Amino acid sequence: MTLKRHVIHKKLFTLAIVFLYTFSASALKGQDDVPTTSPSVSLPSDSSQVPLPASDERVPRRELLSVKSNLLFDLAYMPFGYNDFCPIPNVAIEYYPLHGHFTYGAMFDCPWWKGDITNHKYFQVRNYTLETRYYFRSGDVDKRGIGNGAAFKGLYLSAYAHATLYCIGWRDKKKTATPGTLDGHGWVGEGAGAGLGIGYVMPLGKNEHWRLELSAQFGVFWTKYDPYVYGCPVENVKDGLYYYDYKGDADLFKKREYKLTWLGPTRVGVTISYDLLYRTSKKHRSSFKAWEKGGYR
């Protein structure tokens, strides 16, 4: 009986040892899953990559379109018998892309001065011109950025084409001194031309929105025209009307029988320009303001 109890006690003791060992191992293993009590610290990223909050700060805009006027034309004086000041109203525009060296423009000259039968002075012209320029200094936005002055400036080469119609006339003083002659004369016709040019653009002011341009163009101009006189050339009578200077058979008369081709200088300019339109931060939008309020940028 005593031996049987001893065996039972020994088994109970062994079970107790196994239980304690198993419990201790489980407790030690569970410590690996217990989260640390130390608070985690997240380091801030590079502050230069953090977007700036919206503000009222003025952000410059990139120029889109400029408007110009040739000062030499505005103060024009016509010699060769006309002998009078005859300002030539003119306007030009230039479009500035975001990339590359090329810009694109157009010009319109429109003097329409009319005298009377006492001086026969007429200076009426309509001239339409298209032009493209290549600036040696690239205006690419990736190189120039925005707000760093005019993108396109300095030396450039250009190519142009134009079409014109005109009526120019005045009194011939030599014929006035000769009795029985028709002293009022002129030319009326149409023409077209093309050529190359060279110029230089100089910024004016800190923001460079105003600029001064010096330019010259060389090319060919071809025109068909008719001379006219004041009075009937057949009867040599001043009847208050202008006639084509033609004395042949009226049934055989054809307009624009006279032709002229000119090769050489065709235009010079001392031009003032101003940025009229600017690009906004929104695509396909433009504005007259050179700046906008800062946002996320």
What averages of pLDDT result for each successive group of 10 residues across the chain (297 residues)? 48 51 46 47 45 60 91 86 84 94 96 78 93 93 79 95 94 61 82 97 90 97 93 80 86 90 96 91 74 56
- H helices present in the chain, as ranges: 2-30, 71-74, 141-144, 173-176
Instruction: Report how far residue 57's alpha carbon sits from residue 55's, in angstroms, rounded to the nearest whole number.
Output: 5
- 8 A C-beta contact, residue 294 and residue 281: no
* Two structure tokens written together for 94: 């230039």
Buried b (16+ CB within 10 A) or exposed e, 179-190: eeebbbbbbbbe
Q: Which two tokens stand for residue 10?
A: 């020994």
Select from 106, 268, 139, 137 the least CA-distant residue to 198: 268
Q: How far is CA 165 from CA 162, 174, 191, in A?
A: 11, 28, 6
Matching residue, tokens 């088994």: 11
> Residue 58 belongs to what H/E stretch?
strand 58-60
Q: Is residue 157 part of a domain?
A: yes
Hey, what are 267's tokens?
Answer: 């235009």
Is 182 part of any domain? no
When divided into structural domains, the chain yields a total of 1
- The residues facing 104 across adjacent strands are 95, 132
Residue 65: which of 233, 214, 292, 288 has the closest Cα?
288
Helix and strand totals (H; E) in the chain: 4, 15
Whether residue 196 is contained in a domain is answered as yes
Neighbours of 164 (CB within 10 A): 17
Angstrom distance (rounded) from CA 147 to CA 290: 9
* 3-state SS class at 297: coil
- Whether residue 217 lies inside any domain: the answer is yes
Residue 146 inside a domain? The answer is: yes
Q: Is residue 131 part of a domain?
A: yes
**Residues spanned by the domain of 204:** 61-113+126-163+191-293
pLDDT for res 56: 62
Q: Is residue 17 part of a domain?
A: no
On whether residue 16 sits in a domain, the answer given is no
